[in-house]
Amino acid sequence: MRKKVDFLIIGSGIAGLSYALKVADKGSVCIVTKNVADETATKYAQGGIAAVMYTPDTYEKHILDTMIAGDDLSNEEIVRICITESTDRVKELIEWGTHFDKTQSGKYSLGREGGHSEHRVLHHKDKTGAEIERALLQQIHEHKNIEMLENHFAIDLLTQHHLGLGVSRGMPDIQCYGAYVLCPDSGEVLTILSKITLLATGGAGNVYSTTTNPEIATGDGVAMAYRAKATIENMEFVQFHPTSLYNPNEKPSFLISEALRGFGGILKTRDGEEFMQKYDKRLSLAPRDIVARAIDTEMKLSGDDYVCLDCRHLDKNELIVNFPTIYAKCLSIGIDITKDPIPVVPAAHYQCGGIKVDAFCKTTLSNLYASGECSSTGLHGANRLASNSLLESAVFSHRAALETKKKIDTIDFRDDIPDWNAEGLKMNEEMILITQTTRELQSIMTNYVGIVRSNLRLKRALDRLEIIYRETEDLFDRSIITVEICELRNLINVAYLVIKMAMVRKESRGLHYSIDYPQKAPIKMNSRK
Ligand code: FAD
Ligand code: SIN
């Protein structure tokens, strides 16, 4: 089946939905999403969205905090754009129906998280993302120009390659004409032709064994863009959230929001000793790269499987009112956070790099845009400041909408793209091979490409990856397409990019720490154009 839309959006988190709402008055919009519409990382966001709302906060303070967290690798121009547009975008989310908590005086209640010099995080209890996703989806469902295809999986982007023309990385004017999309229920692959395509596919936390990310986070957008020869950057900067709930075998790992540390929670060893004073004067509220590494070091020193977050000294009622989800979750496994320390461990959480885009989300391919966690705007540099990612999605999707609405009338559909060819392919009888290979991949990344890296470990990871890459490509070439094999391929692709980019970074900076190069390289090497 073939379909034509002006705007094809892949992903239904904050990046995809906010873009859809902005372009829908200019043409037909189709949102393709691989699960039900709200199954996104956005829905699980806890702490909130950072924005400058009131004095004594200022744009300059938020800009400086973002630059410091990014460890000198953030693009200052992009940081300035994002922060100075933060207030307007948050007001827009409110106009679309998002409820953020207020204080008794009627002002927005602002939380604080690691690396922020002011209270500036707007939130809805500890389930901010669910509230944003709810409000956006309500608007989407009311819009007659927007079609939502749930349980549809984007396989690959369409380019000149599908017309039999050679396409190579770095070649000028590679065009994107839409995407092949699998409907797993019917097994049919749709050819969706579009004038503009926006990738809003989120992160890739599932490349690791332990992650806070939902199952949908398999790096599909980055892998699709890479195969289509777009430029990908900064993939070595994988953010591990310092505090996920230690509850072995639970997948994904439940997040214990940094907002809890902002509220006064203190990190301690299992023996009850505070340790952050050994690592940073900002203690439990230092930026995430520092806190996650400190926890990793403490766990290695003690041999313990976790450290603890102690909230027992905090006001019991306030704790329960402000963090109802965390309170209930912990209680469900026998931990009363008002009486017991919470066992926590770092978990893969956020992909700081991704598909390289400009200040309007334009990738290196014509008519292909990317926004949200799958993109790399240059905002986060070597480490993302907490609660800046929902903000980044809202700001840059808005900017993508401004640019693409201007362009849309100048673009034609490409009708001669052939349909998906499944001739000669057979059903893969051994799904277990895919499950096992996925676990193998996750254990390679966890064991060799985690918080602390070395040349030897990275080489081991690459050697092992090579084997599963070849086996999986072979299986892919022979099998009828399924979501599972596509996701595995995409995860392998992402793992390859993380390892390769980690190998060429001969320094330690932000989230990339190598025991072979413990120092930072002079900053010129890193300047981002
Ligand atoms: P997502 O919201 O992840 O949406 C991705 C969409 O793409 C999904 O709809 C998915 O189904 C779809 N998709 C992916 N691949 C395909 C495919 N092949 N075909 C079709 N559809 C596809 N950030 C903050 O700023 N503040 C917070 O408090 C915060 N808390 C967090 C808590 C948790 C537990 C997690 C996991 C993340 C948190 N983050 C937070 C990060 C933030 O939630 C994400 O970075 C952000 O929501 C990403 O939005 P997105 O629209 O880019 O992607
Ligand atoms: C959290 O609530 O700790 C997550 C915030 C974020 O990832 O930005």
Q: Which of 120, 123, 239, 258 for mutating ligand 2's site (highest number of atoms within 8 Å of CB)?
A: 258
Has residue 285 been placed in a domain?
yes
Q: Are residues 249 and 176 in the same domain?
A: no
CATH of the domain at 489: 1.20.58.100
Residue 529 in this model has a pLDDT that exceeds 50: no
Instruction: Note the pLDDT of residue 269.
Output: 98
CA dihedral of 52, 38, 206, 436, whole degrees rounded to 10: 180
Question: Residue 278 sits in which domain range?
Answer: 242-346
Asked if residue 303 and residue 213 are part of one domain, the reply reads: no
d(C-alpha 125, C-alpha 429), whole Å: 46
Query: Of all atoms in ligand 2, which is nearest to the CA of residue 386?
Result: 8
3-state secondary structure at position 17: helix
Q: How far is the CA of 471 from the centre of ligand 1 (A)?
A: 29
Instruction: Report if residue 522 sits inside a domain.
Output: no
Please report whether residue 529 resides in a domain.
no
**Are residue 287 and residue 388 in the same domain, yes or no?**
no
425-452 pLDDT tens trace: 877 777 889 999 999 999 999 999 999 9
Give nearest CA residue, ligand 1 atom 25.
Answer: 387
Tell me what pLDDT residue 411 has. Answer: 98
Q: What is the pLDDT of residues 450-464, one digit of tens each?
A: 999 999 999 999 999
In a domain, 276, yes or no: yes
Inside any domain, residue 416: no
Rounded Cα gap, residues 393 and 45, in angstroms: 13
**Candidate from 101-110, 281-290, 372-381 with smallest mean pLDDT:** 281-290
Same domain, 336 and 440: no
Q: Which residue(s) pair with 241 in the sheet?
A: 347
| pLDDT tens digits, 459-486 | 999 999 999 999 999 999 999 999 999 9
Determine the residue of 65, 244, 349, 387 to mutate for testing ligand 2's pocket, defined as the one with the most ligand atoms within 8 A of the Cβ atom.
Answer: 387
Count H helices and E strands in the chain, helices first.
15, 19
pLDDT tens digits, one per residue of 140-159: 999 999 999 999 999 999 99
199/311 same-domain check: no
Are 488 and 437 within 8 A, CB to CB? yes
Residue 308 sits in a domain of what CATH number?
3.90.700.10
Closest ligand 2 atom to 47 CA: 2
- Give residue-wise pLDDT tens across range 17-27: 999 999 999 99
Domain count, the chain: 3
Q: In this structure, what CATH number is given to the domain that contains residue 94? A: 3.50.50.60
Alpha-carbon span 153 to 181, nearest angstrom: 5
Which atom in ligand 1 lies closest to the alpha carbon of residue 42?
Answer: 47
Is residue 460 in some structural domain?
yes
Average pLDDT value for the chain: 96
Question: 206 and 122 in one domain?
Answer: yes
CA dist 191 and 391 (Å) reads 32
State the pLDDT at residue 427.
77
Same domain, 281 and 300: yes
Residues 94 and 211 in one domain: yes
Protein residues with CB under 6 Å of any ligand 2 atom: 46-47, 257-259, 386-387, 389
In this prediction, residues 311-339 reach a mean pLDDT of: 97
Whether 22 and 131 map to the same domain: the answer is: yes
Burial of 519 (0-12, 13-18, 19+ CB in 10 A): exposed
Nearest-atom index, ligand 2, CA of 390: 8
- H-type helices in 214-270, by residue range? 220-227, 259-262
Q: What is the set of active-site residues?
A: 288
> Is 0.85 topped by the overall pTM?
yes
Q: What distances in angstroms separate CA 457 from CA 376, 454, 460, one per listed residue? A: 26, 5, 5
Burial 448-480 (b: 16+ CB within 10 A, else e): bbbbebeeebbebbbebbeebbeebeebbeebe
Determine the distance separating the centroid of ligand 1 and the alpha carbon of 391, expressed in angstroms.
12
Which numbered ligand comes closest to the C-alpha of 129? 1
Distances in Å between the Cα of 291 and the Cα atoms of 237, 333, 433, 445, 515 are 15, 25, 37, 20, 17
Whether 525 has a pLDDT exceeding 90, the answer reads no
Query: Cα separation of 469 and 474, whole Å?
Result: 9
> Residue 524: its pLDDT value, please?
66
Which bound ligand lies closest to the C-alpha atom of 150?
1
| Rg, Å, the chain Cα set | 22
Looking at 361-459, which runs of residues are DSSP E strands? 368-370, 375-376, 452-453
Centroid of ligand 2 to alpha carbon of 255 (angstroms): 8
Residues 158-196 have pLDDT tens digits of 999 999 998 999 899 999 999 999 998 899 999 999 999
User: What is the pLDDT at residue 83?
Assistant: 98
Amino acid 132: pLDDT: 98
Q: Which residues touch 238 (CB under 8 Å, ≥6 apart)?
A: 208, 348, 350, 351, 352, 449, 498, 511
Q: Which residue has the higher pLDDT, 529 or 12?
A: 12
H, E, C per residue of 407-429: HHHHCCCCCCCCCCCCCCCECCC
Model pLDDT for residues 276-319, shown as the tens digit of each residue: 999 999 999 998 899 999 999 999 999 999 999 999 999 999 99
Residues with a CB atom less than 6 Å from ligand 1: 10-16, 32-35, 39-42, 44-49, 128-129, 153-154, 200-202, 212-213, 216, 220, 255, 350, 372-373, 387-390, 393
Considering the domain architecture, whether residues 377 and 342 belong to the same structural domain is answered as no
Domain stop point among 346, 370, 392: 346
Position 77 in a domain: yes
- Closest ligand 2 atom number to CA of residue 239: 7
Backbone angles phi, psi at 359, to 5 degrees: -70, -5
CA of 455 to the centre of ligand 2 (A): 30
Q: How far is 408 from 472, CA to CA, in rounded Å?
A: 38
Q: Tell me which DSSP letter residue 25 carries.
A: T
Q: What is the rounded CA–CA span in Å between residue 440 and residue 217?
A: 17
Tell me the CA–centroid distance for residue 515 and ligand 1, in Å.
31
pLDDT at 422: 83
Q: Which ligand is the nearest neighbour of the Cα of 349?
A: 1
304 lies in some domain: yes
230 and 259 in a single domain? The answer is no
Q: What is the number of alpha carbons within 13 Å of residue 152 lying toward its C-beta?
A: 23
Ligand 1 pocket test, candidate residues 17, 19, 40, 329, most atoms within 8 A of CB:
40
Ligand 1: residue of 38, 93, 216 to mutate (most ligand atoms within 8 A of CB) is 216
Are 378 and 470 in the same domain? no
- Say how many Å lie between the CA of residue 112 and the centre of ligand 2: 11
